[in-house]
Structure 1
Amino acid sequence: MTQQVAQGHVKEVAERIGLAARSLPGCEIGKLVEGLVGKLGGPLTTEKLGSLTLKDLDQLFSASRDAPQREEMRQALHYLWGEGIGAAPPPTPLPYAEGDMPQSVRLAVASNTTENLDGHFGSCKRFLVYQVSCQEARLIEIRDPAPCVEADDPNTARAQMLADCQLLYVQSIGGPAAAKVIRAGIHPVKFPQGGPAQTSIERLQQTLQSPPPWLARVMGVTARSLSRYATEEDEAA
């Protein structure tokens, strides 16, 4: 395997492929490596493995008599992405019921590692969903976009799975995908440098203290820039 893996990546790539092979009944490590090199090109790197999709694995096993079950392939895909290997697990969502946080907005964060804003919209491993108000930010759900790969339009499917969110924070997103997100009623914001999700959330909380009109409508409050006009209308009435 070492000749098919880039220097500096051997240990982690071997660990990912080994775990993936063990999660796929009857899968031989050597054949899996050959298939991955054929699909991604050699030498293999962690970045190349991180770009794999469920459709890619489907194609690798399409000619197999005993093709793995869909859930088995999803588990293998997460191993190939490096999830759960030498890294802290994703954070645990907290309970939330509608109405718990008045004057709040729902934010989705594209993430690949723990609680970081470090994902591309079309290929991130998960979306961290937060309910955010001026006083509190609560992680309420972690959504797995892997099933969207099977959709006719994966980016539209990703946008639809976030349709209850008003904001989307990503490290990167293409123009056509951004248009689909906007059509779903979500406002996308790019953070090219990425970083801890909490840092961006704290900035959002500052914005919520004096929100622009469109965000104020989502929160159910009057924007400060419009409040004086509302007061004048009330006095005139």
Structure 2
Amino acid sequence: MLIAVASKDGKEIDQHFGHAERFLIYDVAGNEAKLVDEKKVERYCSMDQDHPMRAHLLSAIAEALVDCRAMVCAQIGQAPQMEMERLGLDVFVTEGPIKPTLVELGKML
């Protein structure tokens, strides 16, 4: 199964959903998590006070991650989390090393 990860350094789950300009895509099977792709996206948090809920950006991110079963990030606001789940992605908030975390997550999905 494919799982998207928000990561600054490519080693740790350490990035807030709204700050991510890319998602690393891992194929998780059994005890393995293998990096297979990278999806660049427009950053959700733009600090635009006039448009606090940028649905078009959430839709674009969900479209970029359409083949993924889940998305993992260090933090996400309640409104974007609910919208991402409505658009079909399971959202998990955690921190730690990517590969072992994804293997454990894969056992739950």
How much does 1:108 deviate? 0.4
> Structure 1 length normalisation: TM-score?
0.39
Higher share of residues assigned strand? 2
- What secondary structure sits across from 2:83 in the alignment? helix
| Aligned mates of 1:182, 1:152 — CA distance in 2 | 13
| Aligned mates of 1:173, 1:167 — CA distance in 2 | 14
User: Which one has more relative contact order, counting CA pairs under 8 Å at least 6 apart?
Assistant: 2
Picking from 128, 132, 150, the partner of 2:28 is 132
Identity within the alignment, %: 29
- Per-residue CA deviations over 1:111-155 (Å, capped at 9, x if unaligned) read 112322111111113211011111432111011113778x86222
- What secondary structure sits across from 1:108 in the alignment? strand
- What secondary structure sits across from 2:91 in the alignment? strand
Tell me what 1:201 maps to: 102
Tell me what 2:78 maps to: 175
Tell me what 1:115 maps to: 11
> Structure 2 length normalisation: TM-score?
0.78
Q: Which runs of 5+ in 2 are unaligned?
A: 46-53
- What secondary structure sits across from 1:172 in the alignment? coil
Runs (4 or more) in structure 1 with deviation over 4 Å come to: none
Q: What is the CA RMSD across the aligned residues, in angstroms?
A: 2.4
Higher share of residues assigned helix? 1
- What secondary structure sits across from 1:146 in the alignment? coil
- What secondary structure sits across from 1:112 in the alignment? coil
